Structure 1
């Protein structure tokens, strides 16, 4: 059931993930102005002649983003019709379209009106929402295909639901602190780890504040997910799905934390590490979004 929808959904999710990776590449290589200040044209041309590497990176990002946007719109309309009997489907379909369009408009605005750090941070945050909404739509189609059992809805507690929702929202805030660090060129503002410039509270504090606070936010995120995993394994040992999601979340946040440390200690010399750092936090948010969705369902008996 939903065989074609699932196949199309996976392709769409891969395109959305590629857009996110390309966006990180554009930021890491400083290619945001690779097509000048014209959009959708590139230096006023449909296809740029004799492009530099920055132009190739920015231009390919625009093409893939456009294709991803088209795929998301098709997937959303398809889900609206085929999964209309599922409570979460229509909201996720609307969210996926809204976020991919808003993401594109903000990207275009950054090209035409200049790249403001806050705007670019929002742009990355919307990319994470776009990816998660598409992935959750695909998950719903797989759940709906399984007619033997009901959708995943493990027994839980009100306290657990509130905690997971809080962690999800906090994770989204961490995404913004990281994006703000990147777009304010604060990545190397705090050499060394765990101290900053050899001190726990560095001199000229406000010049390193974005990086300093991002470290604190990231550490709290790691601790929060470790607490969540311990809570789930001790109090809800029979809920296999949330147990696995909690383990995956811990693995993702550890990878995220480790890649962040590597960026600082290597002086941001490795492009692939920085891109991995951006991708892992988006996958972490998607994982937490799925956990939140199933915990807020009415538990199966």
Structure 2
């Protein structure tokens, strides 16, 4: 009788572990999106200082009663709703940190295998720890705009690393341990598009942290003018004083108008970069869904931004605007991944064609 090859029993635990890693990394992408939106909601309801200390709330792991809160921080009266909103954000962010640690522990046994994304896992842990530090500084420095903006960008960095880890794990599970030299390098057009997106995300965080969302009334004009009075030097003064409470902002009207207009200009530049990117690589079939998705998501995001101005920044619409930013980040990352990996697909197709001709 012909012998039947049996799967190597030593590989079965690793395969099961890899499946778990794939599920957890994908769950991390979804969970990080939720954490980002909860963080934005916390800010929009002015709950960022709902607890005056960190990591607890008035020295407790749960929101205390008013008497205990007063004994702990007499200068910061307890507002129960805001305190709970802030603590919920901290709870879910802590759970996300535990998920990162779990991914690192589960992947430790596979780290020496060729192609396993161990460096990405370690980078994810480092960034989540830095993000926790920024969360602490957000409270202790009383919503200092620089820290608040970095905290938002840090959350998006965690999201990107979760996505990149998941995609790398999928490639590893398929047995593709090809060297990075076979993957396409970043082109200047990709670099410009990514830089414009990063700049626009930072500008969005700066608008939010300085409460400049409705500094311009009306669209496409700003306060009835195409180029109103603006104080650019004060609006983008990145060494603001540490110490004051930045709840509701400290800048005067002209400075906030400059920040808002800067965000509008950034949106225009980002749109031009994305359209140019889509036009340049539209012939590549594998890239079309992601490039088309990027342009569509940008159009929706632009509409949400205009609606936020015209409707005076309602909570639900501001949250949708943040969700749109998250969608742009994910689509850009997925498009870049397809761009890099398409070189491998082309190489494999060429190799198979040559083998077929040889036969």
- TM-score, length of structure 1 as denominator length: 0.87
How much has 1:63 moved relative to structure 2? 0.5
Question: Using a 3 Å threshold, how does the CA distance of structure 1 residues 156 and 104 change in structure 2: closer, same or farther?
Answer: closer
Can you list the C-alpha shifts for 1:100-158, whole angstroms capped at 9, x where unaligned? 111111111121232111110011001101001101211222233345x898x9x9976
Question: Using a 3 Å threshold, how does the CA distance of structure 1 residues 259 and 84 change in structure 2: closer, same or farther?
Answer: farther
1:261-280 paired onto structure 2 within 5 Å: 261-269=306-314, 271-280=315-324
- Alignment check: 8 A CA contact 2:57 2:87 kept: yes
Which of 11, 21, 42 does residue 26 from structure 1 map onto?
Answer: 42
1:98 corresponds in structure 2 to 126
2:59 corresponds in structure 1 to 44
Question: Using a 3 Å threshold, how does the CA distance of structure 1 residues 99 and 81 change in structure 2: closer, same or farther?
Answer: same
Which of 144, 151, 165 does residue 172 from structure 2 map onto?
Answer: 144
2:22 corresponds in structure 1 to 6
2:317 pairs with 1:291: no
1:55 corresponds in structure 2 to 83
1:174 corresponds in structure 2 to 200
Question: Using a 3 Å threshold, how does the CA distance of structure 1 residues 203 and 60 change in structure 2: closer, same or farther?
Answer: same
Question: Using a 3 Å threshold, how does the CA distance of structure 1 residues 80 and 218 change in structure 2: closer, same or farther?
Answer: farther
Q: CA separation in 2, counterparts of 1:218 and 1:279?
A: 16
2:272 corresponds in structure 1 to 223
1:196-211 paired onto structure 2 within 5 Å: 196-206=222-232, 207=254, 208-211=257-260
Provide structure 1 residue ranges, at least 5 long, that are not aligned to the other structure. none
Can you list the C-alpha shifts for 1:193-234, whole angstroms capped at 9, x where unaligned? 11111211112454211100101101211221122112111x
Q: CA separation in 2, counterparts of 1:209 and 1:29?
A: 24
Q: CA separation in 1, counterparts of 2:108 and 2:329?
A: 24
2:192 pairs with 1:192: no
Which of 67, 74, 77 does residue 95 from structure 2 map onto?
Answer: 67
2:325 pairs with 1:281: yes
- Alignment check: 8 A CA contact 1:168 1:285 kept: no
How many aligned positions are there? 291
Q: CA separation in 1, counterparts of 2:205 and 2:109?
A: 36
- Alignment check: 8 A CA contact 1:161 1:295 kept: no
Bigger RCO (CA 8 Å, 6+ sep) = 1
